[in-house]
Chain A
């Protein structure tokens, strides 16, 4: 069934099709439609779930952690400051190894108040132990929520699906809504190994002494290592069932490319346009869509970039005092590797500024001409 949905409603549909049983959320622009729609779904019975209208994002995550610990598939959604408020509990969710799926609509952090797109909110949750996927369009929003649960429940890690404020959240696109029966077959009910059960009383998240803490954390790290391949397998399997294939990264026209543009989220789409145009003009250029940020797809990035001469990384974010975060991560992934391209880091589109095909063209031209220094992030689109 095809429907024209805004990104937020695609997220709601993803949760509905995943048959989540518990939703706890607190409203924040631009996430509100997700919870409004879910509230309607719970109200009309199309979704059999409890919707907890909590008093903060902090409590949203706390209650979702506890409901998931009680053995129920749980969902929440937030954005920006709400995500920042959850920060402490993001660690709890991952440390408790809970397969929660959360949607985060990427929005700039205050101050000053800004409700528009920016990846700084979720990227600053890098080390909380969550799997992070950055998605490109409304269809991928829906598909990724469903995949998120498969990934999460396979590796016992929480998964955050991130997409851009307004550009996706408030924008209508035709979205194919998979058949519920098919989803049910592909995503069976949640069967946790451990859950709060009076018939088998055990304590969760207790005090871990130094003699075991490191091992426990090593296990968390290894779960992330597994999550890379699992994400690819799940994306492949999803494609086999639903016809749309996904992976940790997507490489477009990269095989013979000399230059590669690495980009994420909705800005991937204008980049696809630019690639096609430049290819038409005979330029050997490719595109690397960074869908997964955590765990970082190091092997995939290396494989795509190997033998290229230049890689442009366009970041809609900034790690203050360092630069573009994806660029930094990619540099880290290829360091100590032979035959790797020079990395050109561009920061642009912060706080809702558009990333247009023209802007990407400009960047490619700059890099091609070798003007910018490779070691610093260049702020593109500043008022001159």
Chain B
């Protein structure tokens, strides 16, 4: 039994997520940490539907649905209003998909981060526009199949590194997290909530229908993503201080790729290429994690 696991459920049953939805698990754990005194803003994404149709709501925190590109701006507005009402203790959670974060919402996210708005921004990354039917986003991994990157021309170019973009803003706190490490995820949400200023969590969230995996494998795939170093779990403080949280087992990427229909067209060279890129990115991350942050040199 996990002793300090918060038992309060602010996400209620009956929500409209698919079987095995990673994004729903992320929401559940975020709210467990943030608690009732939270206002949530959700741009267009799977969660626009998951939360339930009017006049129903599956969350037990106030929630505003906002336009696709506006999660961070909306969160900023809520924060400003709360501050004016003297409700500094109420937390603001922007909860957006990868499309609303990496693509269409990147500008407002950049703006809010640069202003250092006191918000928690959680991007649940299911690596494509899933709600609209599996179209590629800039978070889609290289060579993956989606409906707009069919196997005749799979997704070109590597997945956008959103944490690098945000660390470039000198964001006080940003981190990757995974549904397969719920305690780590919750610890990061807690840190994010306690951060004065903008905190960003990039939460890896498997999508069984979109990735062509069976629903019970959601967590397994997330675990493999970490253990193959495809999605390392780490934190960046003040955009400079890197901390790797989970030592990956270093399994070959093939173990991850071969279990998902979206990669079933890959040949040996593709897998080798992905392995090389993953190894390179891991090396970069390791080197960054060994660098002394700026403030230590002052």
Contacts and interface: CB of A to CB of B under 8 A. Distances in A.
Complex: A in contact with B (CB within 8 Å) = yes
Interface of A: 21-22, 24, 48-50, 52-56, 58-60, 62-72, 74, 88-89, 92, 196-198, 200-209, 212
Given A22-B84, A65-B74, A206-B65, 18 more contacts: A22-B81, A55-B107, A58-B108, A62-B70, A62-B73, A64-B77, A66-B73, A66-B81, A67-B78, A67-B84, A201-B63, A203-B51, A206-B48, A206-B56, A207-B49, A207-B53, A208-B53, A209-B53
B69 interface: yes
Interface string B65-101: 1110110111111101111110000100000000000
Contacts of A50: 80-81, 83-84
A206 B81 contact: no
Contacts of A63: 70, 73-74, 76-77, 80
A325 B81 CA distance: 37
Interface stretch (B34-42, B156-164, B228-236, B271-279): B34-42
A129 to B, nearest CB: 15
A202 B51 CA distance: 11
A207 B77 contact: no
Contact of A202 (B57, B83, B85, B111): B57
Contacts of B51: 203, 206
Contacts of B77: 22, 24, 52, 62-70, 74
A55 B110 contact: yes
B59 interface: yes
A196 B79 CA distance: 11
The interface residues of chain A, by DSSP majority, are classed as: mixed
Contact of A204 (B65, B73, B81, B85): B65
A-B pairs, top 7 by smallest CB distance, nearest first, are A55-B111, A63-B77, A66-B77, A70-B81, A62-B70, A59-B73, A203-B57
B45 to A, nearest CB: 12
Given A198-B90, A201-B61, A202-B62, A59 B76 contact: yes
Contact of B107 (A48, A59, A67, A197): A59
Contacts of A62: 66-67, 69-70, 73-74, 77, 108
Nearest to B49: A207
Contact of B63 (A21, A55, A203): A203
B153 interface: no
A63 B119 CA distance: 13
Interface of B: 36-39, 41, 48-49, 51-57, 59-67, 69-70, 72-78, 80-85, 90, 107-108, 110-111, 114-115
Given A92-B66, A196-B64, A203-B64, A54 B36 contact: no
A21 B36 contact: no
B81 A198 contact: no
A212 to B, nearest CB: 7
Contact of A59 (B56, B60, B70, B78): B70
Contact of A92 (B48, B56, B67, B85): B67
A260 B61 CA distance: 57
Contacts of A67: 77-78, 80-81, 84
A88 B68 CA distance: 10
A52 B111 CA distance: 10
27 contacts: A24-B73, A49-B84, A52-B76, A52-B80, A54-B115, A55-B111, A59-B72, A59-B73, A59-B107, A62-B70, A66-B64, A66-B66, A68-B77, A69-B81, A71-B81, A71-B85, A88-B67, A196-B63, A196-B64, A200-B62, A201-B57, A202-B57, A206-B51, A206-B53, A206-B57, A206-B65, A207-B65
B64 A69 contact: yes
Nearest to A70: B81
Contact of B38 (A52, A53, A198): A198
A54 B73 CA distance: 8
B40 to A, nearest CB: 9
A71 B86 CA distance: 12
Contacts of B85: 70-72
A88 B36 CA distance: 31
Residue of A74, A204, A206, A209 most packed against chain B (CB within 10 A): A206
Nearest to A51: B80
A50 B56 CA distance: 32
Contact of B62 (A88, A201, A206): A201
A203 B65 contact: yes
A61 to B, nearest CB: 8
Contacts of B61: 198, 201
A64 B115 CA distance: 16
B39 A196 contact: yes
